[in-house]
């Protein structure tokens, strides 16, 4: 059986296939590199990846020859290039048996996203109840659902705006999620009346509060509506779902907006599966027109856009900015004011005794935010273990520390690395504190273990001793 790698070598013998992304990126950075080429990621049997650059025309040729069941292909999204808005929406069916209509949560996300990315006042007089015509003129919905898992990708295929990089898009997505959850909490009716102790919440806090009321919200609040037309509180509550561990989480995956992000391509599969990502029949893209397979492929690609006049949104100096040379399109940038107002008013973090606006914690330039603590403020798992680490580094008054950053392991995503600053310099090897070393506290979230690792070179702490988290 011919593999996708063999098809590439046969069709484009001069093309190189790389085993590491870093090896691939070096030639991509050269001045003579063809800027029209797209970085394609190929999934292998052991879940590892290989990389190749193709023009869009070459990619369509590959599609013609390579059958669907061999296409384990992903778009490797450039970190510092303009991108379309994209969303990964998924949950397990057997953990969410109470959801009878699997389109509700997706439809709510589409309508809210359309509202936030457009000057929607011009549509309000013509929008009918439950009419998604306008949002589906812009958004392409792809589906790879099975009997076990609901899985949608939706992409701003005909974009009204772009984001200057994934980092800016990530901030927008956090606002999108926060807006949905906070709008649910602040509504009051006969069935739902939660007393708020404060006016500002983090996303994990909102999830924790709402998780106690999901059943009531879905069944009793169908007549309670958002400030956005055609979205009920009942609909919005479907964005909260249970994971494999029966824990409440978001149906929207907020972890797909990082460096080296790879997003499955249209009409492709995950290795070993047989559920290609195809257009969702219930949410037809721009149904007034017909699209060929190659046109849908082009529209679905995150880093490709043929319209050079689309406004570009950036996040700099702690606020969103809109850049466009087209006067007619500037009116769509009014949505920027709504985003900035909401960002300043609502998004505050209370983690680690710090009541600091999240604006101060988000990287405002185009560099990856790998060591920025804010990148995990909206990760419930990180939030869960932050207070445990906080208790360790604050226990000794003479050696109090602070959390400088937190990130997941590159190879083992179940490992959290909390880098510690301040006066906490404990070394397990000498059973006391050094004078000048730095320390990392590692958390194994899968086995609920922790380890304190001294970074002093003389200690040579290469052996990690794990202890249970009580």
- For the chain, the structural domain boundaries read 1-76, 79-367, 379-468
- Give the number of other Cβ atoms within 10 Å of residue 256's Cβ: 18
Confidence check: pLDDT of 428 > 90: no
pLDDT, position 361? 37
Q: Among 19-28, 293-302, 376-385, 436-445, which range has the highest average pLDDT?
A: 293-302
What residues contact 121, with CB distance under 8 A and at least 6 apart?
A: none
Q: What is the pTM of this model?
A: 0.71
Is the pLDDT assigned to residue 451 strictly greater than 80?
yes
Q: Give the residue, 11 or 308, on which the prediction is more confident.
A: 11
Please check the confidence at residue 263 and state whether its pLDDT lies above 50: yes
Q: CB count, 10 Å around CB of 273? A: 11
pLDDT at residue 131 above 70? no
Query: In the predicted model, what is the mean pLDDT of the chain?
Result: 82
When comparing pLDDT for 30 and 255, which is higher? Answer: 255
Confidence at 236, pLDDT banded by 50, 70, 90? very high
- What is the per-residue pLDDT for 287? 78
Share of the chain above pLDDT 70, in %: 82
Whether the per-residue pLDDT at 173 is higher than 60: the answer is yes
How far is Cα 401 from Cα 392, in angstroms, rounded to an integer?
9
* pLDDT higher than 70, residue 440: yes
Q: For residue range 66-109, list pLDDT tens digits in order.
A: 999 999 999 999 888 999 999 999 999 999 999 999 999 999 99
CA dist., res. 413 & res. 407, Å (int): 9
Listed in sequence order, the residues at least 6 apart from 467 whose beta carbon sits closer than 8 Å to its beta carbon are 449, 450, 451
Tell me the longest C-alpha to C-alpha distance in the chain. 72
């Amino acid at each position: 059986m011919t593999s996708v790698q063999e098809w590439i070598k046969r069709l484009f013998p001069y093309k190189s296939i790389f085993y590491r992304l870093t090896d691939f990126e070096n030639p991509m950075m050269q001045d003579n590199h063809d800027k029209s080429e797209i970085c394609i990621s190929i999934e292998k049997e052991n879940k590892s990846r290989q990389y190749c650059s193709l023009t869009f025309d070459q990619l369509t040729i590959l599609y013609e020859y390579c059958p669907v069941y061999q296409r384990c292909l992903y778009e490797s999204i450039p970190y510092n290039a303009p991108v379309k808005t994209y969303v990964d929406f998924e949950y397990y069916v057997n953990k969410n048996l109470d959801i009878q209509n699997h389109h509700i949560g997706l439809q709510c996300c589409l309508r809210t996203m359309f509202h936030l990315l457009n000057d929607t006042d011009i549509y309000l007089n013509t929008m009918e109840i439950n009419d998604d015509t306008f949002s589906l003129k812009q958004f392409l919905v792809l589906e790879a659902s099975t009997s076990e898992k609901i899985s949608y990708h939706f992409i701003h295929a005909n974009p009204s705006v772009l984001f200057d990089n994934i980092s800016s898009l990530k901030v927008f997505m956090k606002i999108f999620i926060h807006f949905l959850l906070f709008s649910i909490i602040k509504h009051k009716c006969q069935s739902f009346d939660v007393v708020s102790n404060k006016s500002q919440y983090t996303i994990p806090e909102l999830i924790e509060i709402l998780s106690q009321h999901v059943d009531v919200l879905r069944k009793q609040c169908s007549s309670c509506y958002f400030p956005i037309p055609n979205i009920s509180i009942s609909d919005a509550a479907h964005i909260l779902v249970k994971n494999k561990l029966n824990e409440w989480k978001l149906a929207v995956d907020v972890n797909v907006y990082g460096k080296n992000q790879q997003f499955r391509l249209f009409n492709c599969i995950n290795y070993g599966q047989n559920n290609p990502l195809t257009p969702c029949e219930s949410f037809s893209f721009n149904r007034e027109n017909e699209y060929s397979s190659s046109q849908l492929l082009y529209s679905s690609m995150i880093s490709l856009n043929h319209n050079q006049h689309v406004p570009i949104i950036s996040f700099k100096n702690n606020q969103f900015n809109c850049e466009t040379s087209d006067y007619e399109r500037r009116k769509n940038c009014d949505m920027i004011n709504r985003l900035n107002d909401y960002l300043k008013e609502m998004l505050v973090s209370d983690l680690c005794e710090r009541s600091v606006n999240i604006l101060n914690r988000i990287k405002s330039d185009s560099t990856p935010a790998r060591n920025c603590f804010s990148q995990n403020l909206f990760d419930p798992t990180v939030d869960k273990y932050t207070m445990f680490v906080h208790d360790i580094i604050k226990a000794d008054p003479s050696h109090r520390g602070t959390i400088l950053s937190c990130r997941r392991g590159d190879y083992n995503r179940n490992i959290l690395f909390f880098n510690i600053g301040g006066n906490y310099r404990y070394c397990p090897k000498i059973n006391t504190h050094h004078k000048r070393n730095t320390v990392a506290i590692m958390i194994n979230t899968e086995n609920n273990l922790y380890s304190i690792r001294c970074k002093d070179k003389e200690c040579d702490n290469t052996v990690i001793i794990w202890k249970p988290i009580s």
